[in-house]
């Protein structure tokens, strides 16, 4: 299942990995970029839309309540406008954010970010209450947001993680927007990337697993990777390169790294990071679940109807959800079929032992509680995906254990949203880490064998791998 859509800050058009954005689909005239199947989707998309001007903001309903149009509100005031917050809570929210490092970030972004990094040791709940926030606001507003961002509640998520998002909302006011791909990520995001890499001479070893990272001790006493041993069934092959990038998630990189490398603190710290479980549920109905205005349209399957947006709720065990038939119609609207509700269950740990049928039934029950329009509809199909470790657990005090993209092994590099980058663990955090990884590969090029490594397209491939969700990249 695809990950979250929460985008990083704007990247320089002159950066070493700018070619990455040639991999993306053309942006439609209104600049809207949609991503299918994402549990969450607010963020700063200027890095995707560097050449296009578009509207800022989006309507974000928080159920129960009414939909709010945030387009006329500057960020982060739009967050404070949530209907889930009463007058006292809105005042408390204003006080908390008004006394936060976000204010400094408005005129000194780097200084504000430095102050935010220093808050990694405390939870967002602790920070928020110490600045006048209330329990009611935590429960009704901030917990659903925290669940969507990091699959954790406010008492378990780092203040750095939450305030990082709000800092970018405040400083990138032309880029804070909620969007989803208009179709499947496999076709709309990943296929253009793989097509580009192959067009530039890259090779993708499909269905091969990396069995072993082979290395030797260099003359300086440091390990140096000599090749990757790939395996498929009874077949093995050794691939060699000048530089190697591991663009993986936490469980993947922990399995890949040679155990002997744990003698180096930079690698051993990675094993202190753990992932958060999440369950993604898809339910197909024989009508339009979120159509609240016209009862006749609920059963009219000729065209989609309902709320075309990502939704949040504080009253269900799924923190955020969307009707993919509306938000991502290219692949998910099917003539003669209705809503395809995708719901992200967080926290997921209590429900991991449940059977798929029990999870589907409970999710359907809660969908019907939220939407009376769905009470006479039938579920025609369901799919449950359980991920034991998805995002890394951005708990207080974990940030120091995140590794840099450059490692103690001179020709081995890391990418992935768990690596150090000033954004949260997300698809866009992975993209940002890929950019940074591409930059350090380029910096290392003079000391690496082979002139080909200096080609920007090769470095862009490393960034693309992180954005695409992982794998080992060899820069030839």
pLDDT exceeds 60 at position 287 = yes
How much is the pLDDT for 226?
Answer: 92
- The backbone torsions φ and ψ at residue 381, rounded to the nearest 5 degrees and listed phi first, read -165, 150
Determine the topology of domain 275-391 in CATH.
Answer: Polyamine Oxidase; Chain A, domain 2 (3.90.660)
Left, alpha or beta for 60 (phi > 0: left; psi -120 to 50: alpha)? Answer: beta
How much is the pLDDT for 176?
Answer: 56
Average pLDDT of the segment spanning 99-116 = 72
Average pLDDT of the segment spanning 398-417 = 93
pLDDT exceeds 50 at position 15 = no
- The backbone torsions φ and ψ at residue 383, rounded to the nearest 5 degrees and listed phi first, read -140, 135
What's the whole-number average pLDDT of the chain? Answer: 74
pLDDT exceeds 70 at position 195 = yes
How much is the pLDDT for 462?
Answer: 52
The SS3 call for residue 83 is coil
Residues 368/378, Cβ–Cβ less than 8 Å: no
Model pTM above 0.75: no
Distances (CA, A) of 9 to 70, 174, 421, 433: 20, 11, 11, 12
pLDDT band (50, 70, 90) for residue 317: confident
Would you kindly state where each structural domain of the chain is located, as residue ranges? 87-171, 185-274+394-452, 275-391
CATH superfamily entry for domain 185-274+394-452: FAD/NAD(P)-binding domain (3.50.50.60)
SS (H, E, C) 88-116: HHHHHHHHHHHCCHHHHHHHCHHHHHHHH
Give the Cα separation of 92 and 96 in Å (integer). 6
How much is the pLDDT for 351?
Answer: 92
- Which has more confidence, 227 or 468? 227
Residues 13/21, Cβ–Cβ less than 8 Å: no
User: Among the ranges 145-149, 179-183, 211-215, 305-309, which has the highest mean pLDDT value?
Assistant: 211-215
| pLDDT tens profile 339-358 | 999 999 888 889 999 999 99
pLDDT band (50, 70, 90) for residue 465: low
Q: How far apart are the first and last CA of the chain?
A: 30
Return all residues near 248 (Cβ < 8 A) that are at least 6 apart. Answer: 256, 416, 470, 471, 472
- Nearest Cα neighbor of 167 from 115, 90, 95 is 115
- Which has more confidence, 43 or 381? 381
Average pLDDT of the segment spanning 97-105 = 65
- The backbone torsions φ and ψ at residue 128, rounded to the nearest 5 degrees and listed phi first, read -65, -45
**CB atoms near residue 174 (< 10 Å):** 17
- Which has more confidence, 177 or 145? 145
**CB atoms near residue 199 (< 10 Å):** 9
Average pLDDT of the segment spanning 170-184 = 66
Return all residues near 357 (Cβ < 8 A) that are at least 6 apart. Answer: none
- Which has more confidence, 117 or 81? 117
Dump the DSSP string for 390-442.
-SB---TT-GGGPPPSB-SSTTEEEESTTSS-SS-SSHHHHHHHHHHHHHHHH
From the centroid of its chain, how far is CA 212? Answer: 28
């Amino acid at each position: 299942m695809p990950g979250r859509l929460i985008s990083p800050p704007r990247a320089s058009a002159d950066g070493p990995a700018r070619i990455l954005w040639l991999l993306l689909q053309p942006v439609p005239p209104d600049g809207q970029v949609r991503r299918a199947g994402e549990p969450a989707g607010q963020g700063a998309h200027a890095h995707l839309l560097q050449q296009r001007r578009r509207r800022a903001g989006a309507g974000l309903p928080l159920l129960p309540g009414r939909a709010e149009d945030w387009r006329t509100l500057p960020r982060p005031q739009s967050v404070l406008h949530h209907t889930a917050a009463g007058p006292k809570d809105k005042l408390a929210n204003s006080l908390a954010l008004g006394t936060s490092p976000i204010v400094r970030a408005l005129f000194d972004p780097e200084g504000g970010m430095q102050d935010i990094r220093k808050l990694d040791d405390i939870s967002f709940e602790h920070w928020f209450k110490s600045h006048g926030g209330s329990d009611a606001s935590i429960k009704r507003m901030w917990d659903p947001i925290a669940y969507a961002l990091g699959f954790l509640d406010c008492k378990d998520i780092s203040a750095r993680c939450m305030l990082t998002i709000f800092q970018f909302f405040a400083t990138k006011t032309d880029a804070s927007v909620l969007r989803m791909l208009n179709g499947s990520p496999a076709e709309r995001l990943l296929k253009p990337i793989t097509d580009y890499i192959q067009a530039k001479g890259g090779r993708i070893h499909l269905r091969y697993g990396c069995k072993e990272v082979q290395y030797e001790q260099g003359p300086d006493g440091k390990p140096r990777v000599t090749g990757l041993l790939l395996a498929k069934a009874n077949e093995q092959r050794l691939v060699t390169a000048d530089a190697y990038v591991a663009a993986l998630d936490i469980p993947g990189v922990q399995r890949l790294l040679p155990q002997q490398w744990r003698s180096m603190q930079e690698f051993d710290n990675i094993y202190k990071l753990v992932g958060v479980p999440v369950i993604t549920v898809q339910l197909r109905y024989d009508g339009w679940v979120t159509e609240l205005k016209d009862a006749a349209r609920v059963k009219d399957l000729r065209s989609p109807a309902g709320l075309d947006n990502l939704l949040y709720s504080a009253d269900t065990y799924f923190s955020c959800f969307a009707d993919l038939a509306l938000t991502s119609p290219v692949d998910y609207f099917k003539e003669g079929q209705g809503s395809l509700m995708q719901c992200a269950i967080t926290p997921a740990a209590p429900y991991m032992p449940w059977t798929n049928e029990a999870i589907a039934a409970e999710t359907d029950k809660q969908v019907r509680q939220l939407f009376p329009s769905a009470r006479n509809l039938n579920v025609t199909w369901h799919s449950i995906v359980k991920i034991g470790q998805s995002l890394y657990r951005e708990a207080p005090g974990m940030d120091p254990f995140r590794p840099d993209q450059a490692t103690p092994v001179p020709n081995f590099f890391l990418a992935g949203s768990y690596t150090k980058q000033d954004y949260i663990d997300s698809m866009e955090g992975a993209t940002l880490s890929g950019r940074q990884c591409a930059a350090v590969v380029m910096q290392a090029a003079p000391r690496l064998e082979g002139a080909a490594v200096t080609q920007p397209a090769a470095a862009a491939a490393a960034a693309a791998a992180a954005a695409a969700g992982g794998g080992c990249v060899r820069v030839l």
